[in-house]
Amino acid sequence: MKEIYMSQIKRIAILCLEVFEELDNVYPNMRTVKNKERAIQNTLRKITENKKEQRKIYDAIEKEIFNYEDCTYKPMCNNLRKLGYTVLEGR
Contact 60, 80 (CB under 8 A): yes
C-alpha atoms less than 13 angstroms from C-alpha of 27 in its C-beta half-sphere: 0
pLDDT of the residue at 7:
94
Torsion of CA 24, 29, 31, 36, to 10 degrees: -30
Tens digit of pLDDT for each residue in 38-47?
999 999 999 9
pLDDT interval class at 70 (50, 70, 90):
confident
Number of domains, the chain? 1
pLDDT value of residue 90: 77
Render pLDDT for 7-35 as a digit per residue (tens, 0 to 9).
Answer: 999 999 999 999 999 999 999 999 999 99
1-15 b/e (C-beta count within 10 Å ≥ 16 → b): eeebbeebbebbbeb
pTM of the model: 0.91
Give the domain range for residue 9. Answer: 2-88
